[in-house]
Amino acid sequence: MQLVLSVFALTVATLTVILAARRLLDFGSQLVYARLVAVGGMVAFSSGRKESVEGPEYYVHFEVGGPGVFHNVTVDLLGLPEFAEAPVSPAPRATMSARDDPIDWTFTVPAGEAASDAWVMVCWIRSHFEGIDSEAIAQRLNDSQLYEWRWFTEPTRFVRTGIRHLARRYPRRSTRAMRELSLYGRWRRTTSSSPSDLIGPADSPPPVRR
């Protein structure tokens, strides 16, 4: 009995150390990511619906600002039913910076129901230190919430791989969702998708000195 308790305590301690290390690495990754976003450039993205004489249309606007250079920029419409004919996407940009014209795309979908599950996605590649990394943002046609793709760190992938392996090896009803756990990344909601939260200094007067 004492041996079982010792093994259990050692397992709990090992998992605690792994989770603590993961949190520290995630915190460091967030600091690096914020620095890269601040130094490497920024993007402006908007998507929505507008009415026209021929019916509802959808538009996408994407532009790059700051000193960064974005490579292999693509804009695609995904999630349409198999029977629906997808509109022609804009031509990919080999490179895109603040000096380049923005991407403006207006398109229509075959039917209103076809737009219920469709979404627009913008992907690009940027240089991070001595390597490269792919990034993406996405938004559903009938929703204003903007999402960004976040890759998992190596410790997170290790933990999630172990969880998925155990869930598949010992299937239970409570672990059904863990069997299909994603290992490499996920869509994360951005902090804000409302234009009212993006008011800059031109719309905010400085404080009045009293």
Dump pLDDT digits (tens) for 141-176: 888 888 888 888 888 888 888 888 888 888 888 778
Enter the pTM of the model: 0.68
CB atoms within 10 A of CB 65: 12
106: which strand partners? 59
Q: What is the pLDDT of residues 5-16, one digit of tens each?
A: 454 445 545 655
Cα–Cα distance, 108 to 174 (Å, whole number): 42
Q: What's the pLDDT at 180?
A: 83
Give mean pLDDT, residues 95-103: 91
Q: What's the pLDDT at 191?
A: 64
Give mean pLDDT, residues 61-66: 86
Share of the chain above pLDDT 90, in %: 14
Q: Is the pLDDT of residue 38 over 70?
A: no
Please provide the average confidence, as pLDDT, over all residues in the chain.
Answer: 75
Q: What's the pLDDT at 5?
A: 46
Instruction: Calculate ∠ Cα 57-86-142, nearest 5°.
Output: 45
CB 183 within 8 A of CB 152: yes
Give the pLDDT band of residue 29 (cuts 50, 70, 90).
Answer: very low
Give the strands of the sheet with 93-96, arranged side by side.
Answer: 93-96, 70-78, 119-128, 131-140, 146-151, 185-189
Cα–Cα distance, 47 to 146 (Å, whole number): 9
